[in-house]
């Protein structure tokens, strides 16, 4: 999913390790960071102030905030929005510029953002691969019998398959939240197709959320995977009000 990607120039600091951006509709950008090199002064140096609510947060949380806000500014510059500062709504969802559909995720040492001006719902998610025991313990709430059978047909370790499924459903939730503003359970979306060769997938809603998002709704997805992590991207035509 990250290839071909154009490298982004990162500020001189051991905190940000690398970054890249893949153009398209939607655009996809990522950065890797090292929380061990987070420093409070970086927020001032990069003009990305740390919110008061995070002053007493753990270093991991502060690192994720700094990296994701830096990446959001770089991404919005691609859309002609200079010096963008990503803030959150009262429901904690990101507030993007008018006319831009976007989604953000971070996990461990990576932040990922997808964005577009096209009429698309977009959702992105990055996850570290679950431990085998965690995958088994979460399987019942994460997948139905058909999904388990589908994953078992693929040449994937169960933990990798479970992580990929978890991430796909997180991306579905993020893609639909701006339209529905409703929480979703994992079993309210079902994986019906996954191709390891083309790195594409398709999901279907299993409940009626609205007239436009019902049990007939199919959502398209792309993904990338490595031994350590998976990244998923879900898109669906935007319902114009």
Please list, in sequence order, all residues whose beta carbon lies within 8 angstroms of the beta carbon of residue 200, skipping any fewer than 6 positions away: 193, 194, 220, 221, 222, 223
Question: Tens digits of per-residue pLDDT, 188-229?
Answer: 999 999 999 999 999 999 999 999 999 999 999 999 999 999
Burial class (CB in 10 A: 0-12, 13-18, 19+), 188: middle
pTM for the model stands at 0.96
Question: Tens digits of per-residue pLDDT, 82-96?
Answer: 999 999 998 889 999
Please state, in angstroms and rounded to a whole number, the distance separating the CA atoms of residues 202 and 49: 39
CA distances from 128 to 86, 105, 162 (A): 24, 12, 11
Question: Tens digits of per-residue pLDDT, 175-198?
Answer: 999 999 999 999 999 999 999 999
Q: Tokens 């982004």: give the residue.
A: 8
Burial class (CB in 10 A: 0-12, 13-18, 19+), 185: exposed
Please list, in sequence order, all residues whose beta carbon lies within 8 angstroms of the beta carbon of residue 82, skipping any fewer than 6 positions away: none
């Amino acid at each position: 999913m990250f290839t071909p990607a154009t490298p982004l120039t990162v500020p001189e600091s051991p905190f940000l390790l690398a970054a890249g951006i893949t153009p398209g509709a939607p655009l996809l950008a990522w950065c890797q960071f090292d929380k061990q090199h987070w420093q409070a002064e970086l927020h001032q140096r990069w003009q990305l102030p740390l919110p008061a609510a995070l002053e007493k947060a753990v270093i991991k949380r502060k690192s994720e905030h700094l990296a994701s806000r830096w990446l959001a500014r770089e991404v919005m510059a691609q859309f002609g929005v200079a010096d963008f500062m990503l803030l959150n709504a009262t429901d904690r969802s990101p507030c993007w510029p008018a006319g831009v559909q976007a989604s953000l995720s971070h996990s461990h040492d990576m932040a990922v953002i997808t964005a577009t001006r096209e009429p698309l719902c977009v959702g992105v998610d990055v996850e570290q691969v679950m431990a085998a025991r965690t995958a088994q313990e979460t399987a019942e709430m994460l997948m139905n019998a058909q999904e388990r059978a589908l994953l078992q047909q693929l040449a994937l370790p169960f933990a990798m398959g479970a992580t990929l499924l978890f991430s796909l459903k997180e991306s579905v939730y993020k893609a639909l939240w701006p339209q529905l503003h409703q929480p979703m359970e994992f079993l309210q979306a079902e994986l019906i197709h996954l191709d390891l060769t083309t790195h594409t997938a398709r999901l279907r809603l299993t409940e009626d959320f609205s007239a436009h998002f019902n049990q007939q709704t199919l959502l398209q997805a792309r993904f990338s995977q490595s031994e350590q992590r998976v990244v998923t991207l879900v898109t669906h035509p935007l319902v114009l009000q």
